[in-house]
Each structure stands twice: as C-alpha cells, then as structure tokens.
Structure 1
Amino acid sequence: MPSLPWSDIDTVLLDMDGTLLDLHFDNHFWLEHLPRRYAELHGMSLAMAQLELTPLFERNAGKLQWYCLDFWSAELKLSVRELKLETAHLIALRPDAGTFLAAIRQAGKRVVMITNAHRDSLSLKLERVELAPYFERLISSHDYGFPKESPQFWDALRADLRFDPARSLFIDDTLPILRSARDFGVAHLLAVKEPDSRKGPKDTAEFAAVGDYRDLIAGL
C-alpha cells in the first residue's frame, strides 16, 4: 500500500460497514440470522427460505432499497429492526480504526462518514460503538435519495459539503462504490483488504487496499 500524500488531502470521507466496523455483523445477519428467523416465522425450512430470499437480494443489490430497513420489513413481513437487535452484540469497531480516526481529527482533517446504511441501522451501531465524536457529519445515502453507487449521490454530497474531490480521500470496502467515486473525481481512493474479520482478505481489483489503518498515519 503506498503512503498517502497527506499535504494534498483536506477531506477524509469514510464508509462505515466493512470499513470502520467489522462486516461480520452484517454478513452474519443477512446471510445466516435473517434467513433462519424468516424460516421460523413463516413455517418453512431454512433451504426454502434461502431459495426465496436469494433472488430478492440479488434483484435489489446496489439499489437504495437494498439498504432500507423499511423496505425489507415490508417485503419480508417481519421487523428487521427487531431481528438486528438479536445479533447486535456482534457489532464491533475494527481494532485499528479508533487510532486512525483520532489521528486524522488531531491533524485537522475534515472527517465525514458517508454510508449507505439506513438511519435506523446507523443509530443501532452508534449506540454500541462510539464513532460520532470523530466526525463533522454522519451522512446516510438515504438523506439524498441515491446510493453511493449512483453519480447523483456524489453530486448531492458536493452540493451539501462543498468539498473538493481533488483534495479528498475516500475509503470504502465496495468496489462499485469506489469506481463511482473515481468517476466523480475523488483523487485518493483506498479499498479495505479484510472487511469481514472471519472471511480473510478479498480481491480489491485495481484499488490499493488498507490492511491496518495505523499504517496510514505516517506523514500526518
């Protein structure tokens, strides 16, 4: 991973799930806990539940409704909020993230969270992990009506924040989102080497990836 030209960076834009928080919570919830509880609540086998849910997930992936708890609660006829509370003990900050956040704040960088997470999901996580004090703003894509995968999200973000993409760093664990940011003109981009601590490193394609955020602090 190359060192960052911190003198050329004023704004740091950070994703939440898989970037600052361990993605294990979300992967476990959507791939294991939700299908199991859906099967129980609807009186079917787990295999049948997965057969019903998989095409639904695939059809909505990358769209704003994919991240919307209200959408899934209505679609699946259950309370996703309540089900998330059942596994909330798995919500965890990456061990290196707190050190990094404190360092970039102390260095005087503008630090903004931009997440596709629904506001209810964001609130649930902020109740369990103290993230808010590190950030100037906590922005959900639902505030703008477009997911981060969409060019319209980035237009809305610039109109809202008045930031300079050419002097910004953006870190995210999702490749289509990083590509959308690159197309918009964000100059400094990093993927995340291991978003889910239980799954090992992932292929980050054309993007350099951060493995330990403490490695980024050099040169601040």
Structure 2
Amino acid sequence: MINLARVPWSEVRCVLLDMDGTLLDLKFDDVFFRQVVPKAFAEKNSLTFEEAYARVFAAYSENQGTLAWYDLDYWSDRLGLDIPLLKEEVAHLIRVHPHVLPFLEAVRASGRPAHLVTNAHGHSLRMKLARTPIGAWLDSTITSHEIGWAKEQPPFWPLLQARLDFDPAATLLVDDAESVLAAAADFGIAHLRQALNPSSGAPPKPSGRFPALMDFRDLGFPPRDQE
C-alpha cells in the first residue's frame, strides 16, 4: 500500500525540489542514456547495438551514485562522444510532469522559498530551464556540481545548508531517488516525499520507506500567504 501522506504545511518553511523524475519527466533521460548514447557509441566504434549497450552500461555502473555519473563532460571524454550535442536529438521529450506548475505557483503564493536541488550537469540544467517554465517559480537552482558532491553523498547536505541557510526540521524535500532521500534523512531533513512516477515511459516505482506521491496533488497545496 502506498503511503500518500500530505505535507503538514504549517511545519514547512523551505521547499527543496529535485528536477529529473520529480518536476520533469524522466523519459527524456531514460531514452537518451538507454538508446541514444549506446546507438552513437555503436556507430562510432563499429559495434552492434547490443555490444555497445553492454560496454556503455558497464561504464555507467562504475560511476553510479557519484558526481561523475551526472557529469556530461566526463561522459564525453569517457565515451568519445559529444554528449551535450547528442541530447539535442531527443530534446522534444523534455516535459514538465502534470500538476507541477500549479504546485510551484501555490508554493510561491504561500511565501515559502522553493529551491531546485539537482544532480544534473550545468548543461542539462540550462537546456531544461530553457525548454520549460519551471524556472520562473524557483528562488534558486543549485547543482551538485557546484557543491562538489552528489546528493546521495553525505557531505552534500551540510554544504547545501551553508548555501541556503535552511532549518532541516522545517524543510520539505521531494525527490524520486530513495538513496537521495535516505542521505537527506540522515542529515535531519524532516519532511521527505518520494515521487513514484518519475517517467511516463515506465510503470510507477514501488513505494519504499518514505511517504510518496504519484503526482503533486498528493502533497496538498500550501495555503496562500495572508500577509
């Protein structure tokens, strides 16, 4: 059974939001890393798609959960491909999840700051902000590459707090990655929600240890600031 606990907004003063799979449809990234990159690697190295897929995913697995996993410059060098240029091939798949924009509008109207906190590389962030309207509703955007650690890694969170000066006990984090939520929980962030429907191209993820949402309506929208 999925725990779709609503947010106790009276206890929340700061909102931290993941981008890929949470605000934006992860289908873009899934298609890119599972299809576009292996296909380009196969063509460059005269391999079958299956051979290229195996080699590319072996490289992925070596770096998962680290900052390099999200670094487009690293993958360009590692695979000998222009990764940012290849992303343009499927840029039409970049989409905002349903009900995200009304949620962001409600957070802004409530007077609470909303910060995008993402592992995405700067190129990906700029690309997605240019193709979606989410940036208009965010107080700041911070990538793990600026911090120097991935969100899954414990040093990320005190460094983020130093940047944003938030109270963990009064902060909401919404993310689709359980490993990220676990690191945030260890740091002391009190209000954690897991997005279970990150990609329109895949079935929902099973519910894990954290309260969850299928879409942003499940959180309940914060009341409007009366001041």
- TM-score, scaled relative to structure 2: 0.94
The aligned length equals: 220
Partner of 2:203: 200
**Distance in 2 between the 1:194 and 1:95 partners?**
11
Q: Is the 8 A contact 2:5 2:212 kept in 1?
A: no
User: Which ranges of structure 1 fall in alignment gaps of 5 or more residues?
Assistant: none
Aligned sequence identity (%): 42
**Distance in 2 between the 1:195 and 1:74 partners?**
28
Q: Is the 8 A contact 1:165 1:186 kept in 2?
A: yes
Partner of 2:26: 23
The Cα shift of 1:43 comes to 1.6
Q: 1:207/1:185 Cα in 2 relative to 1: closer, same or farther (>3 Å)?
A: same
The Cα shift of 1:204 comes to 2.9
Partner of 2:77: 74
Q: 1:17/1:141 Cα in 2 relative to 1: closer, same or farther (>3 Å)?
A: same
- TM-score, scaled relative to structure 1: 0.97
Once the two structures are overlaid, the 10-residue window that deviates more, 113-122 or 43-52, is 43-52
| Matching residue within 84, 91, 94 for 2:94 | 91
| Matching residue within 33, 45, 48 for 1:45 | 48
Alignment of 1:124-139 (within 5 A): 124-139=127-142
- Secondary structure of the residue that 2:155 maps to in structure 1? helix
**Distance in 1 between the 2:17 and 2:218 partners?**
16
**Distance in 1 between the 2:92 and 2:166 partners?**
36
The Cα shift of 1:6 comes to 0.3
Q: Is the 8 A contact 1:12 1:168 kept in 2?
A: yes
User: Which ranges of structure 2 fall in alignment gaps of 5 or more residues?
Assistant: none
2:19 counterpart of 1:9: no
Partner of 1:61: 64
Q: CA RMSD in A?
A: 1.0
2:208 counterpart of 1:214: no
